[in-house]
Structure 1
Amino acid sequence: MYYWNDLAEVPSDIGPTVVTIGNFDGVHLGHQHVLSRLVKAAREHDAAAVAVSFDPHPAAVHRPGNAPVMIMGPADRTEALAATGLDGLLMVHYDLELASLSAEEFVRKYLTDGLHAVAVVLGHDARFGRGNTGDLDTMRELGAALGFEVIAVDDFDALPEGPEDSRGRRCSSTWIREALAAGDVRTAARLLGRTHRMRGVVVHGAARGRELGFPTANLAPESTGLIPADGVYAGWLVGADGTRWPAAISVGSNPTFIGVSRQVEAHVIDRPAEAVEDFDLYGQCVGVEFVERLRGMVAYTGPEALIEQMRLDVARTRDVLSTESPAAG
């Protein structure tokens, strides 16, 4: 997949293309539904399949104090978009100047003049142009005037056989954020089509886990990906080379100890005894994937009670992951 940071980087002979636009935070099943239709349409038109996205998220520009936390970091989003079969991704810098473009100005500059689009694929909730005044009907009008086809894609019902209150609900980034805020990483995974992942550099912590017999890989505070609710999770630690290890993951401030800031740390389970001392991930960029929440955070009476609980957490992690595929999230 070609990646362009600016319209000026797009080759002048790029056309024809079939294009879609969106933030694609999470690249969830709803996004994948639209992108699958995009790729199919591009092949039918003998054209390149191109997605136009924005960085930063528009809400970070218009509502900087109330913008949603991104579900995934830029590297994971690009990787997930590439996996859909896209030929190109144009990441447009979002600022007030871009936001001031009318719907027609945006379409002319980016879709027709810039990308030579012969078709545009959109979901029914798509909005674009100044004040989000452009919608699917607007795009159809512009398509008729400027000579491109508009393909509408219906909403995607991710959990048709799920809980009654979820049936018929549109798959959305908002729903995924709600699930992660509740620690419901199972629902988040069903909406994403893969396990939720954080990514970051392993840094030195207070070494309490090592002292207790459960050494952990601690993610740096600036790691990317939405942090789920505090608690202990079964999941996977993914090394920089793609190696995957089963892990018990702790999220929170560890209330048994005073003055510990919120952190994400993963204890790899079932390593051979001879490999324990050689297992050094400091400074490496790793992924942490959340499969199932085992429990919330609890303050224990002392280290002995905490050690016993951690033994139970490891046993439950082993049980949960024994039925899970270690395939990449």
Structure 2
Amino acid sequence: MSPRTVVVIGNFDGVHRGHVELLRHAKASEPDPRLVAVTFWPHPMSVVRPDQAPPLLCTLEHRRELLLEGGVDEVVVVDFTPEVASWSPAEFVDRVLRPLRPARIVVGENFRFGFRAAGDVHTLAELGGDEFVVEPLGLVTDGTTPSSSTLIRHAVLDGDFGRVRELSDQVFRFTGVVVKGDQRGRELGFPTANVPVQPGFAVPADGVYAGWVRRLDGREPRWPAAISVGTNPTFGGVERRVEAYVLDRDDLELYGVEIAIEFYARLRGQVKYRGRAALIEQMQHDVEQVRHILHGA
């Protein structure tokens, strides 16, 4: 028979410091526990109320990676479908939790589950009976404000990456496969890696940022980069995308490669310039600002 486990449940979008504290506490709650994280994909709101679904902070693969780094031994992903949304709290416990043989389940104090969020921590404890202990944890705060994925999303959309790091202890990361762009950056002397904006994911406000680029295949260290988010209005662009110029590199072959673009600080908003010369001058200034900002970061 498989050993008993400690189970944590949540969306864990971004795996911020509140999530990490929950994992730490759960890991320490039982002697030699096997810690299992139960999470959901897609986000439940995208199924039950698509018009209110939040933009996600990270992909499922990145979420799994962050949970494992946080001390989880196994990540169980519930494929959240309309059928799952219709389960009663008892059905959720029977179908998802009991097979994991939990000795203890640790959740946030505001945890809700089951059809129309009918169940809470008291419901879970009643359904567990003598089979498992339910332990609710209060929200982690920075002294005044609880850490939450919602607050981090707002900070990302505002381009406030200092605030993102305060709330999450992480650098915000945007991932995607590099596609061939219009080659205009190369013509201007600043070749960029272009990643289209995918619906459903959080993207910073249009503007220019300092940050880094890294290949997700782990073949290279991260490179410092000047990052642009927007539609390239100087040349009449309409497609929103994220473009990253790796400082002092024009030899990178990244087409078809999955990369992470990491945002550290906002430089300025998006501006439409009068011609190439003005744009090149601004880009040169941006690159020097990025170099200064990232020095020692």
What TM-score do the two structures reach when normalised by structure 2? Answer: 0.94
Q: Distance in 2 between matches of 1:242 and 1:28?
A: 26
Question: Is the contact between residue 72 and residue 224 of structure 1 (CA under 8 Å) also seen in structure 2?
Answer: no
Name the amino acid aligned to 1:102. Answer: S
Identify the residue that residue 125 of structure 1 maps to in structure 2.
110
Question: Is the contact between residue 188 and residue 196 of structure 1 (CA under 8 Å) also seen in structure 2?
Answer: yes
Q: Distance in 1 between matches of 2:43 and 2:273?
A: 40
Aligned: 1:154 with 2:138: yes
Question: Is the contact between residue 5 and residue 36 of structure 2 (CA under 8 Å) also seen in structure 1?
Answer: yes
Question: Is the contact between residue 197 and residue 225 of structure 1 (CA under 8 Å) also seen in structure 2?
Answer: no
Name the amino acid aligned to 1:26. Answer: G
CA gap of 1:242–1:199, structure 2 versus 1, over 3 A, is farther
Aligned: 1:33 with 2:33: no
Cα deviation 1:198-232 (Å, max 9, x = unaligned): 11111111111111111111114449852111100
Structure 2 unmatched runs, 5+: none
Q: Per the alignment, in what secondary structure is the counterpart of residue 238 of structure 1?
A: strand
Aligned: 1:46 with 2:22: no
Q: Distance in 2 between matches of 1:14 and 1:31?
A: 26
Name the amino acid aligned to 2:10. Answer: G
Tell me the percent identity: 46
Pick one of 277, 280, 291 that aligns with 1:318: 291
| CA positional deviation for 1:66 | 2.9
Name the amino acid aligned to 2:66. Answer: A
Question: Number of paired residues?
Answer: 295
Q: Distance in 1 between matches of 2:220 and 2:132?
A: 42
Identify the residue that residue 68 of structure 2 maps to in structure 1.
82
Name the amino acid aligned to 2:106. Answer: V
Name the amino acid aligned to 2:116. Answer: G
TM alignment of 1:1-329, pairs within 5 A: 13-41=1-29, 44-112=30-98, 114-143=99-128, 145-157=129-141, 159-160=142-143, 168-222=144-198, 225-239=201-215, 240=217, 241-271=219-249, 276=250, 278-324=251-297
Q: Distance in 2 between matches of 1:215 and 1:14?
A: 54
Name the amino acid aligned to 2:158. Answer: A
Q: Distance in 1 between matches of 2:283 and 2:238?
A: 18
Name the amino acid aligned to 1:321. Answer: L
Name the amino acid aligned to 1:290. Answer: F
Question: Is the contact between residue 180 and residue 228 of structure 1 (CA under 8 Å) also seen in structure 2?
Answer: yes
CA gap of 1:217–1:223, structure 2 versus 1, over 3 A, is farther
Q: Per the alignment, in what secondary structure is the counterpart of residue 147 of structure 1?
A: coil
Cα deviation 1:169-200 (Å, max 9, x = unaligned): 21111111111111112211222211000111
Q: Per the alignment, in what secondary structure is the counterpart of residue 169 of structure 1?
A: coil
Q: Distance in 2 between matches of 1:204 and 1:104?
A: 50
Q: Per the alignment, in what secondary structure is the counterpart of residue 105 of structure 2?
A: strand
Q: Distance in 2 between matches of 1:260 and 1:214?
A: 20
Name the amino acid aligned to 1:155. Answer: L
Structure 1 unmatched runs, 5+: 1-12, 161-167, 325-329
Q: Per the alignment, in what secondary structure is the counterpart of residue 234 of structure 2?
A: coil
Q: Per the alignment, in what secondary structure is the counterpart of residue 54 of structure 1?
A: strand
Name the amino acid aligned to 1:24. Answer: F
Question: Is the contact between residue 185 and residue 293 of structure 1 (CA under 8 Å) also seen in structure 2?
Answer: yes
Cα deviation 1:85-126 (Å, max 9, x = unaligned): 1111110111122122221221233222x1111101011111
